[in-house]
């Protein structure tokens, strides 16, 4: 079966499986309200560098990142617990595709976070939804989902090598919010951290969405995000093969 067939089938299955998680459904319902509140009060009272809607987009992207991170982490931890992780490795399909299906499903669910956060901001705090270039905005969303899914594959490597890699998800959530300029502008960060921001897809994702919303140049950040995504893809294809071999040597696939 061609890779896209594996990704499509795995994506549909994991989307279904993740949306059946009670914990996740609760997070979907509560998180956007919290994020919308953060956006409203932070950007209303602070020295505003973007519009309130663009601020809400930043918090929506925070939700997209969190959902990808925790969704993929939860799916892989559950797969280890259920014993399906070993079966995934045992299948003749290259591991990259089956893992990408999981992380892509998580990132897709993150789209809901962006939609719900901006909607909550509109309904609860009266933040107007203004998108100057809807086409580029949609393209930005699509590329963000795919590139975050690909970034998730790289992070998934840790789940194959370390049984308790789930702790990593907590560790990575907030730094990425800060490094990618989702809450505060990247320009305010220390100089050494800026190159780190550049290699993170959410940096370019939020820049594309904000540019498309305000009507400025969305092509440059979109191309940068596609470039970063391709780098993740090439790295992921190589790393996952290596990780799989190492996991078989270390016997780190089963729970115990």
Partner 1 sequence: MHPARLVDGPGRHLEVTPQVAIEAHDLRRTYRTSTGTFRRRRIEIEAVRGISFSVLTGQIFGIVGPNGAGKTTTIKMLTTLLQPTSGRARVLGFDVVHDRQEVRRRIGYVVGGDRGLYDRLSGYDNLRYFAVLYGVPGGEQRRRIGSVLELVGLEKRASERVEGYSRGMRQRLHVARGLLHDPPVLFLDEPTIGVDPVGARDIRQTVAALAAAGKTVLLTTHSMIEAETLCKRIAVIAQGRVVVAGSAAAIKDSGTARAVTEILASDVSEATLQRLRGLPGVLAVSTEVRDLTLMIRVQSTVSADLTPAILKQLNGARILNLSSRQPTLEDAYIELVSDLGRVEPN
Please report whether residue 238 would count as binding partner 1 according to CB under 8 A.
no
Please report whether residue 10 would count as binding partner 1 according to CB under 8 A.
yes
Report the nearest approach of partner 1 to the CB of residue 8 (Å): 9
Q: Which is nearer to partner 1, 7 or 120 (CB)?
A: 7
Please report whether residue 130 would count as binding partner 1 according to CB under 8 A.
no
Please report whether residue 6 would count as binding partner 1 according to CB under 8 A.
yes
Report the nearest approach of partner 1 to the CB of residue 5 (Å): 6
**Of 194, 228, 222, which is closest to residue 208 (Cα–Cα)?**
222
SS3 content of the chain, % helix, strand, coil (to 5): 80, 0, 20
Let me know: does 28 contact 35? Beta carbons within 8 Å. no
Please report whether residue 166 would count as binding partner 1 according to CB under 8 A.
no
Please state, in angstroms and rounded to a whole number, the distance separating the CA atoms of residues 147 and 145: 6
Q: What ranges in 83-94 are assigned the alpha helix state H?
A: 84-90
Rule CB under 8 A: choose which of 37, 50, 51, 86 binds partner 1: 86
Non-local CB neighbours of 155 within 8 Å, separated by 6+ positions: 69, 72, 103, 168, 172
Non-local CB neighbours of 178 within 8 Å, separated by 6+ positions: 184, 189
Please report whether residue 9 would count as binding partner 1 according to CB under 8 A.
yes
Binders of partner 1 among residues 19 to 48 (CB under 8 A) are 20-21
Q: Which is nearer to partner 1, 76 or 121 (CB)?
A: 76
**Which residue ranges make up the site for partner 1 (CB under 8 A)?**
1, 5-6, 9-10, 13, 16-17, 20-21, 81-84, 86-93, 98, 245, 248-249, 251, 253
């Amino acid at each position: 079966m061609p890779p896209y067939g594996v990704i499509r089938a795995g994506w549909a299955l994991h989307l279904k499986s993740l949306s059946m998680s009670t914990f996740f459904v609760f997070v979907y319902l509560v998180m956007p309200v919290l994020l919308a509140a953060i956006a409203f009060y932070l950007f209303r009272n602070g020295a505003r560098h973007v519009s309130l809607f663009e601020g809400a987009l930043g918090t929506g992207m925070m939700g997209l990142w969190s959902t990808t991170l925790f969704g993929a982490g939860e799916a892989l931890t559950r797969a280890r617990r259920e014993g399906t992780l070993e079966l995934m490795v045992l299948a003749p399909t290259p591991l990259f595709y089956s893992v990408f299906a999981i992380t892509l499903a998580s990132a897709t669910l993150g789209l809901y976070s962006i939609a719900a956060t901006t909607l909550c901001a509109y309904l609860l705090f009266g933040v107007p939804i203004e998108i100057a270039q809807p086409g580029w905005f949609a393209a930005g969303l699509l590329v963000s989902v795919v590139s975050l899914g690909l970034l998730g594959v790289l992070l998934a490597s840790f789940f194959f090598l370390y049984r308790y890699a789930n702790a990593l998800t907590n560790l990575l959530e907030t730094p990425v919010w800060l490094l990618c300029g989702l809450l505060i502008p990247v320009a305010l960060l220390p100089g050494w951290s800026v190159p780190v921001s550049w290699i993170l897809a959410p940096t370019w994702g939020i820049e594309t969405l904000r540019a498309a919303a305000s009507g400025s140049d969305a092509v440059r950040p979109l191309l940068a995000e596609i470039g970063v995504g391709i780098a993740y893809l090439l790295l992921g294809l190589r790393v996952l093969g290596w990780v799989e071999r190492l996991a078989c040597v270390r016997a780190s696939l089963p729970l115990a």
